[in-house]
Structure 1
């Protein structure tokens, strides 16, 4: 078996002898040069993803546009590469709007999402004349009308509608139903349309927007959202007496976090299907764009808002094994990076594939419990809450008639989201470098300084093979803000 197959590596990761390499660069050498923990991005992969998704969208619909969901990764270097490839941007706050401008995006290349936009944020967006503000409620639409009237401007908006379509790998990232906090429901839509008609002089309802979730694995869910958009957009146009100029189908396109046959790298046969996209995002997007061309016609522009599928597989996190101990027969590894760097590993128990970047010549043949460095029991790369809940549930079900082994297996799969162990080489030990793959999305922006841990450095291997620093590692003094420093000086 090849090393790539043995360790379930994506194509841009290879081995240089015993060491893992990204775009041909030895990652153990990079960790030695830049320290650990360290995020390493591939500029080639990022640019390639941007090209592929834009080409796929336009192959399906000639008037398709892509607005990168910058919440996934709003590092300015990343945004500049995405803009260079001809994409636009979606923002969720005044801060992200500022970063979009700093990266060079023009107002017509920006849409503004968000569930709680402040008056100041709306003033900025309306004043700039951005492509569209995606409106999340009837109240927000009335607030936009007030701000636009005061500024003497016309606000271009799109109504974000709840489609009632489920999608997403976990409940925390499903956004398409009224159980989520997003969008305008059918009852509220009537009120919003009344506001739009009564403020037609300052509100230009140019489009409609929806979003069904993140890491949506099933193409039929996306196709259903197209059918919903066709029906809903026609109704909105009839109420307003004019057609909509754009229809925003959102994002949620998945990547394959697993890279492996079922059961590999887990220490047991564990269901990781929620993290294993079998169809590439570009292929799914092209199919959705083609469906949109048929259902919505050639006139309105079609917008997409991919985030995860643009950047997740562009980066990995290098972490050092700092400690090791045993609990019974099971060895435990303690890494120098935890959920302070990968918040989703705790918040939604997200799976990140692991390899020992310094022992690529050895098979991943031993099971390890893997945890982070924080003084917090939740800082682990297994589902500690789910495991405790399952033990309690299993005890409660013991002896109940009709509880079959098959039912127990189903219940456990619903309760425990992550494998209990990870398969790594048996010789894995303190000093080794472990790589967590596909960490480009929802990582740099979500890092924090719990337990006095400094946020990690991030570098990018550019397309010309130069090394670009995306962000420096926090300094010790960065753990103390300016007000605290002033207080410390006064105390002296």
Structure 2
């Protein structure tokens, strides 16, 4: 059985003999032409995702709108494709607002999230007259009122509320409780409503906003957030004496990062079944939109803010094997890409599925420890911290009454978040090309230059099969800023 049959390839990926292809383009040839590491995006997949999510939202509620969460990937070419498909945009900073405007989004197509909006950012948002500022605190609302008064403008706002609903694949991406840094609880909401009532000439409370997390795998969590929104919106409207114009249900819709058949590319004692069982984002969004139509009624507009589910599966990262060694019987592979290009692999121990893109006709029959090139032991595609922690926990629990093998397995799965090894062809060696799938979200935005490594080039296969450069690879001189280069003179 070859690698292509062991792995469940998404439709945009195909195996052509030994080589992996994206939208029919040989990825080995692309890596040779553009260098490695290299992000490759599918323009067709991106546009298809945008169309599918918008159609799903509107199938449930005729006044549904999608505001793409641009923090997931705010590359201008990506933004222009999303805008061309009829979507609006959610931004998280003045910089993202600037990029949204550069991509052609109109002020009425922009909502502004964020927990620490500066005066300058609020001046920009209020001056433009954007669709809504999602207010994160009572203090921020006071600041908005001051800025709007000074500018002689009316600020359109939505109140971001903490719903107390759990959601998200890891603690670091759960945003629906007061344990997170986002939104207002009930006491602070009452304070914000007092501020709003005191500044009706400059504050238009047009909506309510919530967000329960990212990669939320359970539809009931989303449905519960709709019911919460219905109750809370009625209370806010009662306090203000007017109905809300829009209700923003946030994002967090999941994608399946696993792409493996039973037994393929799974580390021993590691379970990725939750990822694999994730309902498609479009189906979940349609169900939520229908629930919103029932519980919230036809009058308010319904907003959604998908990010990851829009762009994650539109891209992959190509990386070369540069070195290998053995630790006992286990072979180790050293790639030219590490957490400098995929920060979430270390920050939240995120799983990215791995294929040998140059040996797709060979069985994935050997287990490898896979690491990146950085001078840092945490630069690896397994959970080094979790593994060390588990050794200590297991030693403490060993022999204790009531600690069954089943309990140990459950605790280990919660402690060690990534497979210890990856299944790849036994012949995998330096020079081979490895593809990490579903890297379109939170990758281009988070790259950095640790250990003097340049940020990667990114290209897109457009709908007409042309190759569009999204960003060039950093040059060596990009490792120092302009002032340093001037000071160094002829040394550069």
Q: Same fold (TM over 0.5)?
A: yes
Offset at residue 269 of structure 1 (A): 4.5
Distance 2:277 2:10 in 1: 13
Q: Which residue of structure 1 lines up, in the alignment, with residue 193 of structure 2?
A: 193
* Structure 1 residue 168 corresponds to structure 2 residue 168: yes
Offset at residue 347 of structure 1 (A): 0.2
Question: Does structure 2 conserve the Cα–Cα contact (< 8 Å) formed by 1:262 and 1:269?
Answer: no
Q: Which residue of structure 2 lines up, in the alignment, with residue 130 of structure 1?
A: 130
* Structure 1 residue 457 corresponds to structure 2 residue 483: no
Offset at residue 259 of structure 1 (A): 1.6
Distance 1:402 1:277 in 2: 31
Offset at residue 279 of structure 1 (A): 1.2
Distance 2:259 2:112 in 1: 34
Q: Which residue of structure 2 lines up, in the alignment, with residue 180 of structure 1?
A: 180
Offset at residue 398 of structure 1 (A): 1.9
Offset at residue 56 of structure 1 (A): 0.4
Q: Which residue of structure 1 lines up, in the alignment, with residue 275 of structure 2?
A: 275
Distance 1:411 1:294, change over 3 A: same
How many residues are matched? 492
Question: Does structure 1 conserve the Cα–Cα contact (< 8 Å) formed by 2:60 and 2:286?
Answer: yes
Distance 1:203 1:490 in 2: 56
Distance 1:376 1:3, change over 3 A: closer
Q: Which residue of structure 1 lines up, in the alignment, with residue 229 of structure 2?
A: 229
Question: Does structure 2 conserve the Cα–Cα contact (< 8 Å) formed by 1:266 and 1:367?
Answer: no
* Structure 1 residue 470 corresponds to structure 2 residue 465: no
- Residue 299 of structure 1: SS of its match in structure 2? coil
Q: Which residue of structure 1 lines up, in the alignment, with residue 119 of structure 2?
A: 119
* Structure 1 residue 438 corresponds to structure 2 residue 438: yes
Q: Which residue of structure 1 lines up, in the alignment, with residue 255 of structure 2?
A: 255
Please list every run of at least 4 consecutive aligned residues from structure 1 whose deviation after the TM superposition is greater than 6 angstroms.
none
Question: Does structure 2 conserve the Cα–Cα contact (< 8 Å) formed by 1:267 and 1:366?
Answer: no
Q: Which structure 2 residues correspond to residues 2-21 of structure 1 after superposition, within 5 A?
A: 4-21=4-21
* Structure 1 residue 307 corresponds to structure 2 residue 317: no
Q: Which structure 2 residues correspond to residues 17-166 of structure 1 after superposition, within 5 A?
A: 17-166=17-166
- Residue 446 of structure 1: SS of its match in structure 2? coil
Offset at residue 274 of structure 1 (A): 4.2
Distance 1:461 1:76, change over 3 A: same
* Structure 1 residue 385 corresponds to structure 2 residue 385: yes
Question: Does structure 1 conserve the Cα–Cα contact (< 8 Å) formed by 2:3 and 2:364?
Answer: no
Distance 2:398 2:66 in 1: 52
Distance 1:173 1:292 in 2: 24
Distance 2:277 2:55 in 1: 20
Question: Does structure 2 conserve the Cα–Cα contact (< 8 Å) formed by 1:255 and 1:309?
Answer: yes
Offset at residue 489 of structure 1 (A): 3.0
- Residue 79 of structure 1: SS of its match in structure 2? helix
Question: Does structure 2 conserve the Cα–Cα contact (< 8 Å) formed by 1:266 and 1:423?
Answer: yes
- Residue 214 of structure 1: SS of its match in structure 2? coil
Offset at residue 406 of structure 1 (A): 1.3
Distance 1:226 1:262 in 2: 35
* Structure 1 residue 400 corresponds to structure 2 residue 400: yes
> Any stretches of 5+ residues in structure 2 without a counterpart?
none
Distance 1:355 1:222, change over 3 A: same
Offset at residue 277 of structure 1 (A): 4.5
Distance 1:310 1:322 in 2: 32
Distance 1:206 1:3 in 2: 53
- Residue 445 of structure 2: SS of its match in structure 1? helix
Distance 2:341 2:380 in 1: 12
- Residue 134 of structure 1: SS of its match in structure 2? strand
Offset at residue 6 of structure 1 (A): 1.8
Distance 1:267 1:205 in 2: 51
Q: Deviation per CA, 1:319-345, whole angstroms, max 9, x where unpaired?
A: 000000000000000000000000000
Distance 1:4 1:151 in 2: 60
Question: Does structure 2 conserve the Cα–Cα contact (< 8 Å) formed by 1:257 and 1:277?
Answer: no
Q: Which residue of structure 1 lines up, in the alignment, with residue 206 of structure 2?
A: 206
Distance 2:262 2:287 in 1: 27
Question: Does structure 1 conserve the Cα–Cα contact (< 8 Å) formed by 2:7 and 2:261?
Answer: no
Distance 1:108 1:196 in 2: 22
Offset at residue 401 of structure 1 (A): 2.0
Distance 2:43 2:117 in 1: 33
> Any stretches of 5+ residues in structure 1 without a counterpart?
none
- Residue 445 of structure 1: SS of its match in structure 2? coil
- Residue 232 of structure 1: SS of its match in structure 2? helix
Q: Deviation per CA, 1:45-82, whole angstroms, max 9, x where unpaired?
A: 00000000000000000000000000000000000000
Q: Deviation per CA, 1:110-157, whole angstroms, max 9, x where unpaired?
A: 000000000000000000000000000000000000000000000000
- Residue 444 of structure 1: SS of its match in structure 2? coil
Distance 1:233 1:143 in 2: 23
Question: Does structure 2 conserve the Cα–Cα contact (< 8 Å) formed by 1:254 and 1:277?
Answer: no
Distance 1:206 1:272 in 2: 41
Question: Does structure 2 conserve the Cα–Cα contact (< 8 Å) formed by 1:258 and 1:353?
Answer: yes
- Residue 350 of structure 2: SS of its match in structure 1? coil
Distance 1:257 1:275 in 2: 6
Question: Does structure 2 conserve the Cα–Cα contact (< 8 Å) formed by 1:74 and 1:445?
Answer: yes
Distance 1:246 1:151 in 2: 25
